[in-house]
Amino acid sequence: MLELRLVQGSLLKKVLESIKELVNDANFDCSSTGFSLQAMDSSHVALVALLLRSEGFEHYRCDRNLSMGMNLNNMAKMLKCAGNDDIITIKADDGSDTVTFMFESPTQDKISDFEMKLMDIDSEHLGIPEAEYDAIVRMPSAEFARICKDLSSIGDTVVISVTKEGVKFSTKGDIGAANIVCRQNTTVDKPDDATVIEMKEPVSLQFALRYTNFFTKATPLSSTVTISLSNELPVVVEYKIAEMGYVRFYLAPKIEE
């Protein structure tokens, strides 16, 4: 038996909107730790890792570890039917081939339930070790989204370089080239508006903008984004989900040979 009650149901709606274009089908894993997912895009270039910790739910019952295969587009369709202020409860019985999403309006005058068919998904899980990164950039998520969108109108790839001067996003295309430099800026009114750069080593890596633009669909989840870079590793783009967990996107770099 599984029953997870999330008072801030809009978080789950935003999570689905942030990952459904990158991944079609995924297994949601439910354990005493929380509600989680790890899935790669069909090209195995990008990976999404989601964690919603059990403490973040108002009620969290998960009698035994459960993995539920879902089509994310169908799940998003159902969650779109929940109001932004609704409480969402996810329910599943042991051995059942369906999951139920229950939506309660804040005043309890409208209660809906949507039953979705589960699917068997043969997904490949990757072991991702905790790593020390050469550079970690924290910046406003809207700024990062703007940069990825702007650069993708010029080129297909972005080179992200971190030096002590700041973080530089560069692209080149048929019509020309663009460079955007963000300097560390901690003297802002609101901490979430700051750009903070922690650098151990200078880093320069190239990525497909098509994927970074997918990641920025998570912008509504968090006012800040953290970009962790090492010369020998995929980049990690992390959006924290208030008090509950995170959505992390991993993206393998492009390399020149």
Partner 1 sequence: QIFQKILVDYFDSK
Q: Interface with partner 1 by CB under 8 A: which residues?
A: 40, 43-47, 124-129, 157, 206, 208, 232-234, 250, 252-257
Answer yes or no: are the C-beta atoms of 240 and 53 closer than 8 Å: no
State the Cα–Cα distance between residues 24 and 35, nearest whole angstrom: 18
Query: Is the Cβ of residue 86 or residue 134 nearer to partner 1 in the bound state?
Result: 134
With residue 143 as reference, give the H or E element that holds it: helix 141-152
What is d(CA 132, CA 141) in angstroms, rounded to the nearest whole number? 22
Q: State which residue, 38 or 226, has the beta carbon closest to partner 1.
A: 38
In the complex, the smallest distance separating the C-beta of residue 104 from partner 1, rounded to whole angstroms, is: 37
Q: Which is nearer to partner 1, 7 or 128 (CB)?
A: 128
Q: Tell me how far apart the alpha carbons of residues 231 and 252 are, in angstroms, rounded to a whole number.
A: 11
Q: 12 vs 208, which CB is nearer to partner 1?
A: 208
Q: Which is nearer to partner 1, 69 or 166 (CB)?
A: 69
Q: Nearest approach, Cβ of 180 to partner 1 (angstroms)?
A: 21
The Cα–Cα gap between 213 and 207 comes to: 11
Nearest to 225 by CA among 240, 207, 245, 235: 240
Q: In whole angstroms, what is the distance from residue 194 CA to residue 10 CA? A: 26
51 and 36 Cβ atoms separated by less than 8 Å: yes
- How far is residue 73's CA from residue 82's CA, in Å, rounded to a whole number? 15
We find the least distance from the C-beta atom of residue 66 to partner 1, in angstroms, to be 18
In the complex, the smallest distance separating the C-beta of residue 209 from partner 1, rounded to whole angstroms, is 12
The least distance separating partner 1 from the CB of residue 232, rounded to whole angstroms, comes to 8
Nearer CB in complex with partner 1: 169/211: 211
Is 59:5 a contact under the CB 8 Å cutoff? yes
Kindly state the smallest distance separating residue 94's Cβ from partner 1, in Å. 24
